[in-house]
Chains A and B, each alone.
Chain A
Amino acid sequence: EDQVTQSPEALRLQEGESSSLNCSYTVSGLRGLFWYRQDPGKGPEFLFTLYSAGEEKEKERLKATLTKKESFLHITAPKPEDSATYLCAVQATGRRALTFGSGTRLQVQP
């Protein structure tokens, strides 16, 4: 069974304090690993897809990396507007559904 574990559960940073979020996964065959951002009361917003180990994607202050067992979402010099829950999900080969982790709640204080 596909499994996704995210850590930490919650993270509080000062503005400008860089950090990383972790997503560990177990899947029979990985088609893709997805990162989403979810603001309170809203639907998940797509950020990145990673397909193979060693791949990296960047968007503004966010950078996602992938190994064969985990993915990291690096946040460089975060701002208060980066505060949100970040969700990681995997899609197994031959499946359409995504298996989600429980998310990391990020709070960036000014």
Chain B
Amino acid sequence: DTAVSQTPKYLVTQMGNDKSIKCEQNLGHDTMYWYKQDSKKFLKIMFSYNNKELIINETVPNRFSPKSPDKAHLNLHINSLELGDSAVYFCASSKTGDRFEQYFGPGTRLTVT
């Protein structure tokens, strides 16, 4: 199936730990994104990479570090997790051009205890 996939789907961890979330897309897109969906269901952009280059870096604590080893993969590493980091994190991808439709992965629900 052509899609955006994320692992893991669920992540439960304690405050202070370091964790990573992985994303892969096989749609042939060249731009990938990380969004955070809080308890009120707002989706907010965190980062975006285009051809492995960071192009969007919103106001996000520097404990969050994205990495894109190639156009098809985007990872998110979070250091020193805090309670407020609990949310659902979505990866998305799009293709540069006239239409910037973004396709989303299934999400990773992160719970920090």
A residues bordering B, Cβ < 8 Å? 31-32, 34, 36, 41-46, 49, 85, 87, 89, 91, 96-100, 102-103
Assuming A42-B106, A43-B90, A44-B90, is B101 touching A100 (CB within 8 A)? no
The answer, among B41, B58, B90, B100, for a CB contact under 8 Å with A91, is B100
In the bound complex, CA of A96 to CA of B45 (Å): 10
In the bound complex, CA of A36 to CA of B92 (Å): 13
Asked whether B41 lies within 8 Å of A103 as measured between CB atoms, the reply is yes
B residues bordering A, Cβ < 8 Å? 4, 31, 33, 40-45, 48, 50, 55-56, 58, 90, 92, 94, 99-107
In the bound complex, CA of A71 to CA of B28 (Å): 30
- Beyond known contacts A36-B104, A97-B58: 4 more, CB 8 A cutoff: A46-B101, A46-B102, A96-B50, A97-B56
Asked whether A97 lies within 8 Å of B104 as measured between CB atoms, the reply is no
Tell me the minimal C-beta distance from A60 to chain B in angstroms. Answer: 18
In the bound complex, CA of A45 to CA of B3 (Å): 11
Asked whether B107 lies within 8 Å of A32 as measured between CB atoms, the reply is no
